[in-house]
Amino acid sequence: METFYKRLLENNKKWVAQQLEKDPHFFDELAKGQQPPLLWIGCSDSRVPANEIIGAPPGEVFVHRNIANMVIHSDMSMLSVLDYAVNVLKVKHVIVCGHYGCGGVQTAMTNKHVGLIDNWIRHIKDVYRFHHNELNAIENDKARFDRFVELNAIEQVMDLAKTSIVQEAWQRGQDLHLHGWVYDVADGLIKDLNVNLKNNESLSEVYRLKL
């Protein structure tokens, strides 16, 4: 068998042994169920493993990852994860975490044709169009790319707030906070973008649902 593949299964056995050594009831507790306080929406990028970069043990983070951490309102997978997290698990926080150096965001700045993914990336191009003036005023390519990553994460937080799922939770008085972060793959640090939403007041009028 291929050694890389085999190594994964060996690593799993070692990890189980390590956990049990630290706490013999580690898996017994997890087997009882989950009540994570956080939903993480991040990029599929292999360099941004959700739990690891925030030091969260199993059971603490409900995770959804896709290319460029997008919140697209017709994406049944994202909507199902969000609905379950908000209405069943009753998470207190949802974090959209983008990352500098994101290939999806970078591609959206170009006219490159990659394949089917062009249609996913089109949503990121919309974010560029919304912030066209600010982004085009940045002369340095790296600085413009970095800012686009930040604006994309912020825009996805706003998109979360626009969903009926989140607005209904707020309407019921549920304690639910939305946040936007960016992770830097070059130094491992997270930047808080300081978008913290707990109601729909910062949404444009047209997005506020009458519930």
Using CB under 5 A, which of the segments 26-34, 38-46, 114-122, 196-204 binds Co ion?
38-46
- Least distance from Co ion to the Cβ atom of residue 102, Å: 3
- Residue 83 appears among annotated catalytic residues: no
Active-site residue among 97, 102, 146, 159?
102
Lookup: tokens for 109: 């700045």
- Residue 45 appears among annotated catalytic residues: yes
Active-site residue among 25, 65, 97, 99?
99
Please give the residues from 102 up to 161 whose contact with Co ion meets the rule CB under 5 A: 102
Active-site residue among 7, 23, 47, 175?
47
* Amino acid identity for residue 78 in this structure: M
- Residue 192 appears among annotated catalytic residues: no
Q: Based on the shown chain and the rule CB under 5 A, indicate whether residue 85 belongs to the binding site for Co ion.
A: no
179 Rama sector, left if φ>0, alpha if ψ -120 to 50, beta otherwise:
beta
- Least distance from Co ion to the Cβ atom of residue 149, Å: 8
Please give the residues from 13 up to 32 whose contact with Co ion meets the rule CB under 5 A: none
Please give the residues from 42 up to 71 whose contact with Co ion meets the rule CB under 5 A: 43, 45
Applying CB under 5 A, the residues found at the interface with Co ion are: 43, 45, 102
Question: Where in the sequence numbering do the catalytic residues fall?
Answer: 43, 45, 47, 99, 102
